[in-house]
Every structure is written in C-alpha cells, then in structure tokens.
Amino acid sequence: MSTSSSTLLLRRCVNSSAMKARIGEAPRVRSLLCSQNHRQLDQKRSFLTKMIYRASQNVMPNISQTEQVALHCGTIGFDREIFTGSPSLAGLVEKYSPVLTAEESRFLDVEVSHLCSLINDHDVVTQKDFTREAWDYMRDAGFFAMKIPKEWGGKGFSTHAVSQVLCKLATHCFDANATVAVPNSLGPGELLARYGTPEQQEYFLPRLADGTLIPCFGLTGPHSGSDATSLIGSNGVVEERDGVLGVNATFKKRYITLAPVAGVVGIGFDLKDPHNLLEGDGEEGFTVALLERGHPGLRMGPRHLPLNNAFMNGTVEGENVWIPMDSILGGRGRCGFGWHMFVECLAEGRGVSLPAGSLGAARVVTSAVGAYARARKQFRVPIAEFGGIQEAMALSASDGLMVVASTDLMNAIVDNHEAPMVISSIMKQNCTERGRRIVERGMDVAAGSAICRGDKNYMAQGYMSIPVAITVEGANIMTRSFQIIGQGLTRCHPHMVELINSLSSNEPDAVQIFGKQLRAVIGHGATNFFHSITRGTAGSFSTALRSKTAYKDGDKLLEHHENQLLRLSANFAVTADLCFTLGGRLKFEEYLLGRLADAMGSIFLGYSVLHHYSRKRGTIEGLEAVTEHAMLRLEHEAQQALKETADNFPGSLGGVAGIVMKAACFPLGSFTRNYPLPRDELTREVSRLVTTPSEIRDMFQENLYMAPEGEQHQIAELVRALPVCVEADKITSAIRREKRQPTQAEDDVLAHADALRDALIQVDVYDYATSAEAEDGYVR
C-alpha cells in the first residue's frame, strides 16, 4: 500500500463516528480512573488513620475530670508561641509594657516607705508579730485592698503596682511581704469582685477594703502536698434543713497564711449532691464558701511557725459545719466552679507574688552586698577585686536581671487580663530558684556579717525565707518535673488539645478530626525539624564568628540573641513532638519533663531579658554587658538541657527519638553545641558594674527601701558609703603609683572611708541571748 493510501485510510478512521466517540470519552475515562485511585487512596488512608486512632486510644492515659477542667482554665499566649517553635519578640514588645500610674508611684514612695519605717525586721522575727501600729497602718492605708476595685473602697491597683509594692517590702522585711501578698493574690477580694453575688459584694468588699476583715484562702490540707487541688479530707454534701438548702461540710486545712488573724476565709472543698437537690443550678465538684470567724463549727487560729519567719500562718478546721447556699462564693449557681476561681488566684500567686519576693532579694544583694564587697577589704584590697567574689556578684547580677525582666513581663501579661498557667509555673520555679542562688551567693560574700542576727543583718531573714517560697504553691521539684511540661504539652501545643479531645469523643467524625490533627502534628514536627537544622547551622556559624565585644552594639546584640532563641525554640518544639511517641507513659517520665522544663524556662527568661532590653536600651549605661552575660548563660542552659534530653530519651523508641533529636538540634555534631558560658572578661565587667556606682546599680536600686539619712539602716548606709569607698580606692592607687603622700583633702577622704568601712563591718552584740539569761541567779 502506498503512503498516500495509508494516510487516506487513517483519516477515514479518525473521521468515523465510532472513533470520535472513543476519543471524546478519553478525558472522562481518565477522570474516572483518577477518582477511583483517589477513593482507593482515601480508603487506605482512612484505614491507616483508624488503626492509629485505635492504637492511640489504647496508649493515651485516661484524663480525669479535674484534668479536663484544668485544660480549659486560664489562658494561653506566649507559652503556645514557644511550642510552635517560632516565638515573636516584636509581638512581645508591642503587646506588653508594664507601667505605673502616678497614684501607684506615689503609694510606693509614701505609704510603702512609711510602713517600712514602722517595722524593725529583727524585732518582728524575735517577737513573731508586727506592732499594733504596723497592723493598723496596713489596714488603714489599704495594703490589704490593692486589688479591690475603687468603687468598693479599694485601691484598684494594677498587677505591676502590687508586684512592686511586694518587692519593696521584701527588701526590708519578708514577713511584711508575705502578709500583704496573700490578700492581693490568694485572698477572695478580687474573686468577690468578679464572681460574688451583689449581696456578697455589698457586705464583704467594703469591709475588706477598709481592713475591718482580713481575708485568707483555705485550700491546702494535710494530704495535699504539692497538689493543692487534692481536696482529701475536705468534703461537703448538699442538704436541706428546715426548708433551707445548704452544705454540710467537714474540712481540715493547714499552712494557711493569715489564718490566725483573718476575719473571713474562703474554704475550698469537694461538693457532692447525691440527691440532686441542686437541680441543675450549680453542680458537684470543687466549691468555695465564704465563712467569717465565729461561724458555728469553724476553728481558726492555731499557728504554725514556718522556720524562723513571723508571718501569720496556721490551721482552719471544721466538722459538720452548716453552710447556707448564700455563703457559697457566687451563690448556688457557682457550686462546682471553684477550679476556675482557684486558677485565677494561682496565676497571680505563683506568677506575681512569689517572684516579687525574689526580685526584692535580687535588689538587696546587688545593691547592698555589691557595696559591701567594695567596702570590705582583705589584705588591703577590696574583696570586690577577688575573682571568686567577682564571679558570685556577676552571676547574681545576671540572675537579678532575669528576675527583673521576667517579673516586668509577667506583670504586663496579667494586666492584659491573661492568666497563663504554664508561664506562671515557669515564673514560680525559675524566679524562686534563682532567688535562692542569689541569696546564697550574697551570704557567701557577706560572710560573718550575714550570720550574726540583729539590726545590722540585712541578709539572714531573706535566707530563712527562701525555703518557704521554694515550697509553697507547688514545691519547685514537682513544678519542674511534672507541672510545667505535663500541662504545657497538652495545653500549649498548637494541635494537641484537639487531638486528645478527638480520642475521647463519641462523635461520628472523631476519626476524621483525629486524622486532620495528626497530619497537622506531623507537619508541625517536619517544619520545626527543618527550622532546627537551618537555624542550628546558621546560628553555629554566627556564634563561632562573633566577636567577644559584639554585644556593645545594641542592634547586633538583639539580632544575634533573638536568632539563637528562635533556634532553641525550634529545637524545643521538635523535642516536644517526639515526646508523644511515649503515649501515656509520658506523664511518668519526670527526668524528661524536668529537662524540658529547664529548656522552656531558659527560653522564656531569654525572651523576657530581650523584651526588657528592647524597652530600656539607651537609657541604662552598662545594660548591654549584663544582658549579654544573662543571655549567654540562658542559651547554654537551654542547650545543655536539650542535649541531656537527647542522650537520655526514654521509651522503647528512645534510641531512635534521641538520634532524630540530635540530627535536628545538633546537625553538625559538637560544632552545633557551641553556646559558651560568659568569658572571664565579661564576668569581671558585670561585677564591676554592681560593685561601683553605675546606672546598673541605679536600676537594681529601684523600689529598694532605704531609711532616711540619720536613721540606722544597714542597707542605706552601705549604698551611701559606696561612692566614698570608691573615691578612696582611687586616691590610694594614685598615691601608690605616684609614690607620694596624700594631700589634706585626700587624707580627709581616706579617713572618712576608713571610718565608714570600720562601721559597716561591725555586727550586733547582745549581753543576753534570751530573757531567761537576764534574770538574777540564772545558771547554765
């Protein structure tokens, strides 16, 4: 057949109607084949999702009703950003800025200073009580009503103002700090303003505002330990008596601050309604009742003696106490609502009040001990020139900056009407722990002058108070090894709450929701794995090539350390995702949870320090050096915690998870584990800034109580002596270098400095240690 004949035959075939039909059907056939392939793929995916769903249900732990409630209490904010792996420093700076009003500043300068002048810390500890004058002034000046709204006679102060008041009190008397803290955080005043019935508000709030009633909160029982929500031994049953509905309650509380002097107590108990008398108006569960002293069956008053502290602390007990429904905080409809109230209290108590005490300790050590280190001489040299002292003072200064910065940020977060449970736990554990180290170093430097009790000793009572802060509202051991990450993984992970809810859901689309969230978790992990590698590689090179004086440029300081925190946040997020391979076993892996809490805490503190620097840069000379010292330590601590996590990842897949984690966090091996601790030159510079007059010292001396000149007050005398001692040291160096005698003016300065030094190193001496020794005829 010729070529032209073949072409003609082909054209006829193509032009035939049958062939045209077949060609026209081809796209539809392809579409049907694709749809069939997609259905098969969806079926396989659905089958696989169902298998994973069932397996996950088997390994996930049962979530108790209390845990379910906790997952929905409080708020989520910057803590979730850390879990996403990409927090925003710019967002923090834009959103949160702590400020004081003119009224609040005046209260700090006038009323707080006057209260401090009425208190002799040594006498308070010795007598185990304040004077009547001090108690009356606290009532009359509104110290117990700072958070009560003005319309009810309170101060209506911001959280930041309350924090600064507590800080200033802590610089003079920790017992005053504790006494004022409770009514403004754990007291029921603010809860009454939010949840109280109109009748409760009208009765209680004016009396709380004018000090007629001092409040306390009865929550912790003998079996609670660090779980304040454990209400073992505190129970109530709904009953009806003489046609009146109420609660028959039995409770046994201990460690209740202000119980011996309180006029009203908020009692937390587990409410049961076996006969359904509430009829849907309120429910069973954690409930809070308001009882006044003298209520039938209520016993308040026996004291505990917490170490050597004098603040009022004691028990609240009662058996078969009849509580009318109008005594339930918020009324009958708020039965079972106590968890939400408690969480709001806890966010301020843990995140604000306790860190304020550590902030006070930081201000005392950097200001007073820093001055003492310059005034005290050994071998004719100020001990501030000794390397060991410099190391202690520099560490205290950078720890102090972390506490200052994180406290400012947390105060602003709470003032923004947020109640972040995870961040408040981080604040409590980190600030009180760093406060403990600050005080311990201060004791080491002050040495003998910090040991002998008396009016001249400004360190001893802070040292005795630190264990209280470490222990209360969740002991730090439990907070670190259980609460922070145990709650954070489910509460703050961007996809985990929805995934967990789908596992316990009976809805028909639960598997589909689970599959969607599971894919989101996998995508989240993949994104952070990529970010960890890229940021880790870039960050390692920038750290290796960075000049040791680069921190002096504020822009470069911020840029470098923000990049390192972004890297560490991605590392943390990857590790958090890997934790879910442990299933229900995760909540028992406390070594792992503790190390991740260390990493997350260091990351949060790092962002706090950069937030502080962003607001204060250019206004405080020397801030760059202290910020650099703090950031280097925090980055080192976070990376070390992550490395130890990778080395010890638990579970049957722990070895694999550890390898994946190391690949993500340390892609170039040891080269990407290169966050160094501060160099000696930087440590020496930071120490110099807190042991000589500087703007850094001025920053730490904000809201530090100092008695007026002429009154005996060791801290004030140390602070005022520092410039004289520094000037004398300069004169001594000059005359030695120039090999000459001092001029008359120089000799006067030297003599003045010597007299001050001699006075400042003296300690208190007593003829008798006890009143019994002073009696005639006393024989040992």
Q: Would you name the residues annotated as active-site residues? A: 473
C-alpha–C-alpha distance, residues 717 and 727, integer Å: 16
Cβ–Cβ < 8 Å for 631, 556 = no
Alpha-carbon distances of 36 from 22, 43, 46, 48, 318, rounded to whole Å: 20, 10, 15, 18, 72
* Region at 777 (left for phi over 0; alpha for psi -120 to 50; beta for the rest): left
Largest CA distance in the chain: 145
Give the side-chain half-sphere CA count within 13 A for 4. 0
319 alpha carbon, distance to own chain's centre: 36
Residue 490 token pair: 């489910």
Contact 234, 269 (CB under 8 A): yes
- Give just the sign of the alpha carbon dihedral 215, 218, 219, 220: positive
Structure token pair of residue 575: 């590790």
As a whole number of angstroms, the distance between CA 427 and CA 579 comes to: 23
Residue position matching structure tokens 């995140």: 351
* Alpha-carbon gap, residue 715 to 465, rounded angstroms: 18
Strand partners, 318: 251
Alpha-carbon torsion 188, 190, 193, 196, what sign?
negative
Paired tokens of 116: 């401090």
DSSP string, 491-532: HHSTTHHHHHHHHT--STTHHHHHHHHHHHHHHHHHHHHHHH
Nearest CA among 649, 641, 643, 658 for reference residue 604:
641
Contact 601, 430 (CB under 8 A): yes
| Residue spans of alpha helices (H) in 365-459 | 370-375, 387-415, 421-446
C-alpha closest to that of 491 among 635, 343, 591, 609: 343
| Exposure string for 702-730, b = 16+ CB within 10 A, e = fewer | ebbbbbeeeeebbbbbbbebbebbbbbbe
Structure tokens at 500: 């967990």
Angle at 584 (CA atoms; ends 578, 586), nearest 5 degrees: 50
From the list 382, 406, 288, the residue with the least C-alpha distance to 341 is 288
Place of tokens 């020794």: 773
